[in-house]
């Protein structure tokens, strides 16, 4: 049975397209150039900050966020940046009586914004708030504790086979890979994705899949 479901944030619940565009504008490079460099980094398996270092050598996220805020161009997101299927999916899962959470690699300011969106979730966990980031096993230990302590009853949903699915599976959780966002389309890891309980293209698919799985497992 699945009793709890946790979602990655960026690329899963949150469409980061506008966020990437603001970074391109901040660096003063064409948006398509930034996207191309970002995609190349993903295809090569590089750290997500590597494209930023191409345009800003010595890039440090915390320091750069401070510079942007001081310049009146802070990194932010809102209701318009949620994927259209996100809110309805979370609500449907809560209506099934499931424990629902968000857990992803996000900076300090993101947690307050997520809470203000008033999503149908029981808990919001971020790498900054927990002091540990994916794919560290310690991050997923936090997820398991928040989800009730039984890893086998938790489903983790993410767009990245490397940062989301593989470490969640290794922690003993069930997994779901959603195919969207840069990593979802570019990073192909069949040996990882084939071990997922579910593979989906939209969050609209998930509530019925979970309901059917629990009915067959009950």
Has this prediction a pTM greater than 0.75?
yes
Please tell me what DSSP assigns to residue 205: G
How high is the pLDDT of residue 107?
87
Domain annotation covers residue 195: yes
Same domain, 86 and 173: yes
Per-position DSSP letters for 74-93, written without gaps between them: -----GGGB-TTHHHHHHHH
Same domain, 21 and 89: no
**CA dist., res. 32 & res. 38, Å (int):** 10
Domain annotation covers residue 75: no
Residues 6+ apart with CB under 8 A from 35: 20, 24
Same domain, 111 and 54: no
How high is the pLDDT of residue 164?
96
**CA dist., res. 38 & res. 59, Å (int):** 15
Domain count for the chain: 2
Same domain, 44 and 95: no
The domain spanning residue 158 has which CATH number? Answer: 3.40.50.1000
Same domain, 92 and 190: yes
**Residue ranges making up the domain that contains 34:** 17-70
Same domain, 84 and 23: no
Q: Are 63 and 53 in contact (CB under 8 A)?
A: no
pLDDT digits (tens, 9 = 90+) for 77-98: 999 999 999 999 999 999 999 9
Same domain, 136 and 157: yes
């Amino acid at each position: 049975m699945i009793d709890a479901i946790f979602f990655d944030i960026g690329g899963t619940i949150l469409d980061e397209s506008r966020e990437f565009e603001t970074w391109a504008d901040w660096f003063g490079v064409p948006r398509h150039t930034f996207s191309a460099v970002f995609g190349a980094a993903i295809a090569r398996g590089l750290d997500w900050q590597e494209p930023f270092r191409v345009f800003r050598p010595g890039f440090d996220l915390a320091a750069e966020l401070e510079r942007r805020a001081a310049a009146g161009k802070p990194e932010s997101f809102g209701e318009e940046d949620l994927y259209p299927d996100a809110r309805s999916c979370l609500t449907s899962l809560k209506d099934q009586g499931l424990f629902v959470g968000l857990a992803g690699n996000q900076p300090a300011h993101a947690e307050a914004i997520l809470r203000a969106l008033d999503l149908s979730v029981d808990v919001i966990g971020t790498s900054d708030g927990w002091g540990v980031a994916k794919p560290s096993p310690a991050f997923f230990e936090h997820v398991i504790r928040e989800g009730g302590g039984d890893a086998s009853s938790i489903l983790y949903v993410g767009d990245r086979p490397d940062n989301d699915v593989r470490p969640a599976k290794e922690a003993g959780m069930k997994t779901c890979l959603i195919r969207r966002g840069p990593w979802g389309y570019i990073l192909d890891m069949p040996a990882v994705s084939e071990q997922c309980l579910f593979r989906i293209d939209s969050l609209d698919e998930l509530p019925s899949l979970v309901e059917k799985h629990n009915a067959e497992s009950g």
